[in-house]
């Protein structure tokens, strides 16, 4: 049974689309295996939608942003009513342009992507199907493939531990997320199973061992940048724009 | 409203059946053979629509049915045809030593059989011809249904709507909404918007 | 990942529904766009959502052109993907929110990492339960639900039900009997459910 779940704050950022792709994918994969988190995400999404599209709260947000935000970012003013904003959008043109094509979006489902490590064939979660995989590297019972997401200091990988293998004792300078895709492992704290979402910060020292082998999806931030702190990393959007 | 309480055997099944609806059941479990024996002595039994949806309170109503025919299937299993004579509210539930459920029930009126709920005008008017013809076509073409509804080619709107509700591929919880006594108009619109 | 509401959750929905938004109306517009390609309904949706999307986008993107692009992209996807909206699984606002969120996510990733990999549809698939259009939708869902109910019944009872319960038709059977395309049956069922919900109020 899954006992390790993403924290509420992470789920909230996920729903808002504010996590990097690496962590968003991890939560999506976890939720596919975890009805509890799936339900929480559904409810939060509904709440966020309600809040986003409700007049009053928008108005409140606006007022707040107007009083706190006097600097240049308010260049294009946001204190317009729906009607005024609509005028600036030239609806007719946009609607015409959009509805000109009657084409429906095709929904194709990508074929399952598989990966083989040490004669073990794994089917990867659909969430990862458009991601580019790097080369495989194997050292003893550990195999690793980087997932090329271009997220600077955040590194995402697939990590396979062959039966009886383990990861040498290590601490984390930033954070390290391990999501168990297949199999199980244990460390000093206990046993972890498929679907467990294990988020560790720098205070934790551990030494995972997998008796029967496992495949993990891992996300870690580069030690060089750890001083930026997790919050900034978790909010790359803020880091990017401001 | 009939408030007389009756104690009847209860058969939990995900089967949606309104008054006058007929379905066939295969019976081989010991406790349900016993139920059939009891039921055939006169009072029938209740099919309790179970949805096992823990989010919602248990459905408190069922379809009170009478056995109208029985036979032995090709594999020797007892098959019974049952016809719903009324909807009932299930007031309490017990189990006997054979694990057969019994419940105290009281009849609840339903639009499909209580003529006074629906005006004569509504009953006869505005029923889309399609609705009637396509139902009869379905009953004739589906072998298992034509066996059940042998001389049931009724014309009146509530009967037709009720049969369509049983047949339509929609969620049991949606169908359950049409159990309410005043839901006839909603039910009619619902069926019409699908069958057209 | 299913970001839409599970049908199980919908009974709780009223808690989050405010009276300030006319949900049944939005839902009907979206259905009209999906099933009839109704331009007027789309214009109505546009008038409701576009200004709100623009204001939200302005808080996330540094320039107005980008914020406008979010509106353009989101509303285009609403038009092109409306058939993926399932009113059984949640409100129209929730669905449009996820479309907007996905557009924003991909655009930010593009600006930030210069990656045009559009991962959002993999992370938050819009078409989860409709993966293969034809055999999907209600029927699929409901049969699945029914089957899961069946699995909880004792074996002998399962036999009873499997043998004879299915006098309830499948969508395919219904389509055959009515001599209509399956797609028409699906959209009619969907509309009927949406209307029913509107009639009865969201929380009944």
Beta-carbon pairs below 8 A across chains A and C: 191
In a domain? residue A3: no
Nearest to A120 by CA among A30, A183, A187, A167: A183
Within an 8 Å CB–CB cutoff, is residue A41 touching chain C? Answer: yes
Q: Secondary structure of chain B: what % helix, strand, coil (to 5)?
A: 35, 30, 35
- Give me A217's structure tokens: 């999806």
Residue C200 DSSP code: H
- A218 in the same domain as A118: yes
CA distance C13 to chain B (A): 12
How much is the average pLDDT of C98-105?
95
How much is the average pLDDT of A118-142?
87
Q: What is the pLDDT of residue A122?
A: 92
Q: How far apart are CA A199 and CA A197, in angstroms?
A: 6
Inter-chain residue contact A127 with C1, CB threshold 8 Å? yes
In a domain? residue A90: yes
- A163 in the same domain as A49: no
Fold of the C136-200 domain: Arc Repressor Mutant, subunit A (1.10.10)
CATH class of the domain whose range is B5-108: mainly beta
CA A96 vs. chain centroid, Å, equals 36
Above 60 in pLDDT, residue A198? yes
Q: What is the pLDDT of residue C175?
A: 84
Above 50 in pLDDT, residue C146? no
Contacts with C7 from chain B: Cβ below 8 Å: 171
Q: What is the pLDDT of residue C87?
A: 78
How much is the average pLDDT of C64-84?
92
In a domain? residue A188: yes
Q: Return the domain boundaries, chain C.
A: 9-130, 136-200
The architecture CATH gives domain C9-130: Orthogonal Bundle (1.10)
Q: Which of A197-206, C20-29, C90-99 has the lowest mean pLDDT?
A: A197-206
Q: Encode pLDDT of A50-60 as tens digits.
A: 888 876 544 44
Inter-chain residue contact B138 with C169, CB threshold 8 Å? yes
Residues 6+ apart with CB under 8 A from A82: A55, C47, C51, C52
| H or E segment to which residue A214 belongs | strand A214-221
Higher pLDDT, C130 or A175: A175
Q: For chain B, which ranges sit under pLDDT 50? A: 1-2, 53-57
String of b and e for A13-52 (b: at least 16 CB within 10 Å)? bbbbbbbbbbbbbbbbbbbbbbeebbbbbbbbbbbbbbbb
CA-CA distances (angstroms) from residue A221 to A129, A137, A226?
22, 19, 7
Q: Encode pLDDT of C30-41 as tens digits.
A: 989 988 889 999
Query: How many domains in chain A?
Result: 2
Is residue A210 very low, low, confident or very high in pLDDT (cuts 50, 70, 90)?
very high
In a domain? residue A91: yes
Q: Which of B107-111, C72-76, C120-124, C184-188 has the lowest mean pLDDT?
A: C184-188
| Site from C129, C137, C167 to mutate, B interface, most B CB atoms within 10 angstroms | C167
Inter-chain residue contact B177 with C200, CB threshold 8 Å? yes
Contacts with C65 from chain A: Cβ below 8 Å: none
| Site from A107, A237, A241 to mutate, C interface, most C CB atoms within 10 angstroms | A107
| Site from C57, C65, C78, C79 to mutate, A interface, most A CB atoms within 10 angstroms | C79
Q: How far apart are CA C60 and CA C67, in angstroms?
A: 8
Inter-chain residue contact B194 with C142, CB threshold 8 Å? no
- A85 in the same domain as A167: no
**How many Å from the N-terminal Cα to the C-terminal Cα in chain C?**
28
How many residues are there in chain A? 242
Q: Which domain holds residue A156?
A: 114-241
| Site from C15, C26, C41, C101 to mutate, A interface, most A CB atoms within 10 angstroms | C101
CATH number at residue A186: 2.60.120.10
pTM comes to: 0.53
Place of tokens 């509107």: C198
Q: What is the pLDDT of residue A66?
A: 41
Above 50 in pLDDT, residue A220? yes
**In which region does residue A21 sit, left (phi positive, over 0), alpha (psi from -120 to 50) or beta (all else)?**
alpha
Q: Encode pLDDT of C147-173 as tens digits.
A: 444 455 555 555 444 444 446 777 888
Q: What is the pLDDT of residue A105?
A: 76
Above 70 in pLDDT, residue C202? no
Q: What is the pLDDT of residue A89?
A: 65
Contacts with C177 from chain B: Cβ below 8 Å: 134, 137-138, 141
- Give me A10's structure tokens: 């992470």
Percent of chain B with pLDDT over 90: 11
- A218 in the same domain as A119: yes
Inter-chain residue contact A105 with C122, CB threshold 8 Å? no
Q: Return the domain boundaries, chain B.
A: 5-108, 115-195
How much is the average pLDDT of A99-108?
75
- Give me B98's structure tokens: 């054979």
How much is the average pLDDT of C170-194?
82
8 Å CB contact between C28 and C198: yes
Smallest Cβ distance to A49: which of C94, C117, C120? C94
Average pLDDT value for chain A: 77
How much is the average pLDDT of C37-48?
93
Q: Which residue of C has its CA nearest to A11?
A: C3
Q: What is the pLDDT of residue C187?
A: 83
Q: State the greatest distance between any 2 C-alpha atoms of chain A, in Å, as a whole number.
A: 66
**How many Å from the N-terminal Cα to the C-terminal Cα in chain A?**
42
Q: How far apart are CA B42 and CA B141, in angstroms?
A: 33
How much is the average pLDDT of C117-136?
61
- A208 in the same domain as A119: yes
Smallest Cβ distance to C122: which of A98, A104, A129? A129
> Subunits touching B (CB < 8 Å, at least 3 pairs)?
C
8 Å CB contact between C157 and B23: no
How many residues are there in chain C? 204
Chains B and A touch (3+ CB pairs under 8 A): no
Inter-chain residue contact C108 with A240, CB threshold 8 Å? yes
Torsion of CA A17, A20, A26, A31, to 10 degrees: -10
Is residue C66 very low, low, confident or very high in pLDDT (cuts 50, 70, 90)?
very high
Q: Is the dihedral of CA C33, C38, C40, C43 positive or negative?
A: positive
CA distance C46 to chain B (A): 27
Smallest Cβ distance to C159: which of B26, B142, B170? B26
Q: Which residue of C has its CA nearest to B11?
A: C157
- A86 in the same domain as A134: no
> Subunits touching C (CB < 8 Å, at least 3 pairs)?
A, B
Within an 8 Å CB–CB cutoff, is residue B91 touching chain C? Answer: no
ipTM of the prediction? 0.79
Smallest Cβ distance to C193: which of B25, B26, B174? B174
- A138 in the same domain as A233: yes
How much is the average pLDDT of A173-188?
88
Q: How far apart are CA B170 and CA B178, in angstroms?
A: 12
Average pLDDT value for chain C: 73
Is residue A134 very low, low, confident or very high in pLDDT (cuts 50, 70, 90)?
confident
Q: What is the pLDDT of residue C134?
A: 29
């Amino acid at each position: 049974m899954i006992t390790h779940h993403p924290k509420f704050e992470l789920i909230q950022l996920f729903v808002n689309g504010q996590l990097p792709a690496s962590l968003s994918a991890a939560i999506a994969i976890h939720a596919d295996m975890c009805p509890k988190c799936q339900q929480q995400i559904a409810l939060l999404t509904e709440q966020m939608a309600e809040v986003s599209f409700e007049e009053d709260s928008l108005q409140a947000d606006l007022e707040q942003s107007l009083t706190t935000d006097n600097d240049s970012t308010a260049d294009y003013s946001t204190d317009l009513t729906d009607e005024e904003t609509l005028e600036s959008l030239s609806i007719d043109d946009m609607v015409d342009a959009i509805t000109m094509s009657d084409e429906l979006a095709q929904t194709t489902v990508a074929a399952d992507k598989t990966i083989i490590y040490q004669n073990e064939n794994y089917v990867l979660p659909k969430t990862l199907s458009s991601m580019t995989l790097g080369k495989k590297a194997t050292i003893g019972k550990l195999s690793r493939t980087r997932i090329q997401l271009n997220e600077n200091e955040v590194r995402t990988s697939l990590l396979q531990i062959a039966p009886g293998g383990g990861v040498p004792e290590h601490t984390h300078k930033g954070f390290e997320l391990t999501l168990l895709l297949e199999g199980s492992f244990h460390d000093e704290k206990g046993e972890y199973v498929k679907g467990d979402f294990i988020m560790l910060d720098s205070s934790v020292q551990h030494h995972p061992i997998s008796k029967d082998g496992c495949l993990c999806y891992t996300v870690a931030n580069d030690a060089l940048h750890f001083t930026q702190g997790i919050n900034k990393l978790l909010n790359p959007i803020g880091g990017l724009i401001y | 409203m009939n408030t007389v309480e009756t104690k009847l055997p209860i058969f939990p099944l995900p089967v949606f059946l309104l008054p006058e609806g007929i379905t066939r059941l295969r019976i081989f479990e010991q406790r349900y053979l016993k139920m059939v024996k009891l039921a055939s002595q006169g009072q029938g039994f209740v099919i309790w629509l179970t949805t096992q949806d823990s989010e919602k309170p248990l459905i408190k109503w069922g379809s009170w049915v009478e056995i109208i025919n029985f036979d032995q299937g090709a594999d020797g299993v007892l098959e019974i045809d049952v016809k719903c004579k009324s909807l009932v509210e299930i007031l309490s539930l017990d189990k006997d030593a054979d694990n057969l459920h019994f419940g105290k029930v009281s009849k609840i009126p339903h639009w499909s059989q209580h003529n006074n709920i629906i005006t004569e005008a509504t009953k006869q008017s505005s029923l889309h011809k399609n609705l009637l013809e396509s139902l009869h076509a379905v009953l004739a073409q589906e072998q298992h249904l034509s066996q059940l509804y042998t001389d049931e080619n009724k014309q009146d709107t509530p009967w037709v709507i009720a049969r369509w509700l049983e047949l339509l591929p929609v969620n049991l919880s949606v169908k359950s909404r049409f159990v309410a006594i005043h839901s006839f108009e909603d039910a009619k619109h619902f069926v019409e918007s699908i069958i057209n | 990942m299913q970001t839409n509401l599970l049908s199980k959750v919908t009974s709780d929905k009223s808690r989050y529904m405010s009276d300030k938004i006319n949900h049944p109306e939005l839902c009907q517009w979206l259905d009209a766009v999906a099933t009839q390609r109704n331009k007027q309904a789309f214009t109505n949706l546009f008038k409701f959502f576009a200004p709100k999307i623009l204001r939200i986008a302005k808080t996330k993107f540094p320039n107005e052109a980008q914020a406008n692009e979010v509106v353009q992209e989101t509303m285009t996807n609403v038009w092109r993907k409306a058939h993926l909206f399932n009113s059984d699984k949640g409100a129209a606002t929730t669905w449009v929110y996820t479309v907007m969120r996905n557009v924003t996510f991909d655009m930010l990733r593009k600006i930030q990492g210069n990656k045009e990999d559009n991962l959002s549809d993999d992370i938050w698939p819009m078409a989860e339960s409709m993966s293969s259009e034809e055999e999907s939708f209600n029927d699929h869902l409901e049969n699945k639900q029914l089957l899961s109910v069946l699995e909880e019944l004792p074996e002998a009872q399962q036999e009873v039900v499997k043998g004879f319960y299915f006098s309830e038709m499948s969508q395919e059977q219904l389509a055959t009997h009515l001599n209509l395309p399956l797609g028409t049956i699906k959209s009619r069922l969907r509309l009927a459910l949406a209307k029913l919900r509107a009639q009865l109020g969201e929380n009944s």
